Amino acid sequence: MLDKLHSLDTRYDELMALVSDASVQADQNQYRTHAKALSDIQPVVEKFREYRGVVTEIEQAQELADGSDADMRELAEQELASLTETRDALLAELKTLLIPKDPNDQKNVMLEIRAGTGGDEAGLFAGDLFRMYTRFAERQGWKVEVMSTSETGVGSIKEVIALIEGHQAYSQLKYESGVHRVQRVPATEASGRIHTSTATVAVLPEAEEVDVSIEDKDLRIDTFCSSGPGGQSVNTTYSAVRITHEPTGLVVSQQDEKSQIKNKAKAMKVLRSRLYEIEMQRQHDEIAEDRKSQVGTGERSEKIRTYNFPQNRITDHRIGFTTHRLTEMLNGDLAEMGDTLSTYFRAEMLKDAEPVAGA
């Protein structure tokens, strides 16, 4: 690990020289590339230089602790204990900083929520989850654009797909994918019996055209009349679009817009993100084969969380975390859960990290 840190330290100086070079500054593309690379490694290098300074102080304190002056030895030993603690803490921080960043963390999110088992109650729960994520997005100052929705009643959703645009959106929502379970007494339950139902959540990084290559020959595009509540465009114009990606069999339909062109553009966004997810999952599976065991991965088929209304309790089963702030979370206060999940999965990644070399 220390060899890698020394290499980054050297690279930092090289990049500093490059961004200060007049010829590089004259080429904006080149300058942005080097400036971004510098920004990416700066936190690590600054922490490493702080670590090296502490190591130097430890060496100096050790010399005094080995000396003949009894008073100085006692002071040096006290200083050594404090410096050693600081050094170990810095090493732990450096180890965390060296964990490879998820390249998707900066991306926007394609959020898909579908009612699962449980009949009408599942649709109501899917609606609750969508409102929860919408309110969280509002707290973050993000933009939410509904791509398509299928409602089954007031507040009840069969399926909703939305694009969430904002800084670090994927990094903050990526652990929400999976099966969410609710336990509560439905409003229509006269006997007060607790009902259990589910909804599935998929958080996909929005894929740009450069992320996924889609050949026109692989697409079958059908148009049809939109359906739903009354309106001038409903059942009168062929504005709805269905795109089938024949190599994978993926089908995406879009009818929320009155314009066929807009519906096609929205459908392509959803299709691109789903294809990107398939490729990410393939890579994930290849890596997972080499591991003896897997912790919760956020896959759609995995039951990740239970919302228990009678006890105002939410439990995340992947990490064994429970909070009695169900009402607050459903109102969009996901910070505590998100921070806890991020800390847990970061710790799991650290277990696989390279052991710390001697100082």
Tell me, yes or no, whether 358 lies in a domain: no
pLDDT for 216 beyond 80: yes
36, 182: one domain: no
Where does the pLDDT of residue 190 fall: very low under 50, low under 70, confident under 90, or very high at 90 and above? low
Q: CB-hemisphere CA count at 13 Å for 54?
A: 20
Count up the domains in the chain and report the number. 3
What is the maximal distance between C-alpha atoms in the chain? Answer: 97
CA distances, 182 to each of 92, 185, 276, 314, 315 (Å)? 38, 10, 30, 9, 11
Domain stop point among 258, 284, 310: 284
pLDDT for 16 beyond 90: yes
Q: Residue 76 — φ and ψ, nearest 5°?
A: -65, -40
- Contact, 79 vs 71, CB < 8 A? no
pLDDT for 336 beyond 80: yes
317, 255: one domain: no
203, 119: one domain: yes
- Which residues are within 8 A (CB) of 346 and not within 5 positions of it... i.e. 6 or more apart? 96, 99
Chain mean position to CA 94: 22
CA distances, 356 to each of 5, 150, 341, 351, 352 (Å)? 11, 52, 24, 11, 12
Domain stop point among 284, 306, 337: 284
Tokens describing residue 142: 């993000």
Question: Tokens 């009612």 map to which residue?
Answer: 115
pLDDT for 109 beyond 80: yes
Full residue range of the structural domain in which residue 46 is found: 2-97
Tell me, yes or no, whether 179 lies in a domain: yes
Tell me, yes or no, whether 235 lies in a domain: yes
Tell me, yes or no, whether 237 lies in a domain: yes
Where does the pLDDT of residue 357 fall: very low under 50, low under 70, confident under 90, or very high at 90 and above? very low
Provide the mean pLDDT of the chain: 84
pLDDT at site 291: 39
Top-confidence residue, 231 or 331: 331
pLDDT for 240 beyond 80: yes
88, 236: one domain: no
pLDDT at site 301: 54
249, 122: one domain: no
Where does the pLDDT of residue 348 fall: very low under 50, low under 70, confident under 90, or very high at 90 and above? confident
CA distance linking residue 222 with residue 212, whole number of Å: 22
